[in-house]
Amino acid sequence: MKAIVVTDQAAGPAGMTLAERPVPEAAGGDVVVEVHASGFTPGELSWPGTWTDRLGRDRTPSIPGHEVAGVVTSLGYGTAGLTVGQRVLGLTDWTRDGTLAEYVAVEARNLAPLPGDVDFAVGASLPISGLTAWQGLFVHGRFRVGQSVLVHGAAGGVGAMATQLAREAGAHVIGTGRAADRQTALDFGAQEFVDLDDDSLADVGEVDLVFDVIGGEVGKRSTGLIRAGGMLVSIAGPPEARPADGLAVDFVVEADRAQLGEIVQRVRDGRLRPNIGEVAPLDDAVGALNPTERVKGKTIIRIRP
């Protein structure tokens, strides 16, 4: 099968090449998915799981991309809950070959059904951004109706999802980002916007929850805004500062079939709008995933037309 592979960690996304790889087999509990669309997140090339297996053994050449939308073609021994021919979407294991390929083997429990009226490219754009936003707000952030939420990077992949989910759940949402992102963040539902380069974050006043996708100085400055009993939720690594009278958590997104189902349902009925930029075929994936200019929205690789 055709696949994008990486062999050199130091090269980053520029080290991607299009290669021929064997079609994977379904192990126990797995399905093989015929990939129709794939999502890739640049951060994964710095994570150990891209380069070694769980025992630390080299696993290069490895296939990146861990978001998938496609059709199940075979089931491993004992696999339950999915059938051959079913449309699915999901987040695949970071320590196994990924989805920038014509086929991927993935544990069935990491996948959810993809309804026929949701396009594969849309399906592949949802797992990381949707699940991260969901888990940050409702699992780790313990969001409650009526709270105020500051979403950093509100025009980005995770931020756009967090902004929409928080609004739907009854939050007052303040988005942040670059000046050029103001309208995009407002269009996704933010009620206020802070340009992190030119506006003062301190003017926001107190908030209950900060959803931080940026970290560093921005994360540190945000802790001062958090109301007593509030929370800083970070996806940008362990927070460098903590709120004086609140909690700080960081987490890594996990696959979850039920949460994916909730996210897909919201896309179907229009409550959630995906944030997709360029859609490129597998033959053009290396160029599309190495943009020379700033891109808006998530790049999706369409493996099958």
Which residues bind to ligand NAP, rule: CB under 6 A?
Answer: 41, 43, 128-129, 132, 153, 155-159, 177-178, 181, 196, 213-214, 218, 235-236, 252-253, 294
Q: Which is nearer to ligand NAP, 40 or 103 (CB)?
A: 40
Query: CA 246 to CA 228: how far, in whole Å?
Result: 6
Buried b (16+ CB within 10 A) or exposed e, 54-76: eeeeebeebbbbbbbbbbbebbb
Min dist. Cβ of residue 93 to ligand NAP (A): 14
Q: Which residue number, 79 or 184, has a Cβ lying nearer to ligand NAP? A: 184
Q: Which residue has the tokens 């990486």?
A: 6
- Strand 103-107, strand 30-39: pairing: antiparallel
User: Smallest distance from the beta carbon of 116 to ligand NAP, in angstroms?
Assistant: 27
Backbone region of residue 8 per phi and psi (left: phi > 0; alpha: psi in -120 to 50; beta: other values): beta
CB nearer to ligand NAP: give 78 or 238.
238
Give least dist CB 251 to ligand NAP, A: 6
Nearer to ligand NAP, 114 or 194 (CB): 194
Q: How many CB atoms lie within 10 A of CB 177?
A: 24
Nearest residue to ligand NAP by CB is 156
Our CB check for ligand NAP shows the closer of 152 and 266 to be 152
Minimum CB distance to ligand NAP, residue 69 (Å): 17
Structure tokens at 133: 């936003």
- Min dist CB 98 to ligand NAP, Å, is 15
Count of helices and strands (H, E) across the chain: 7, 15
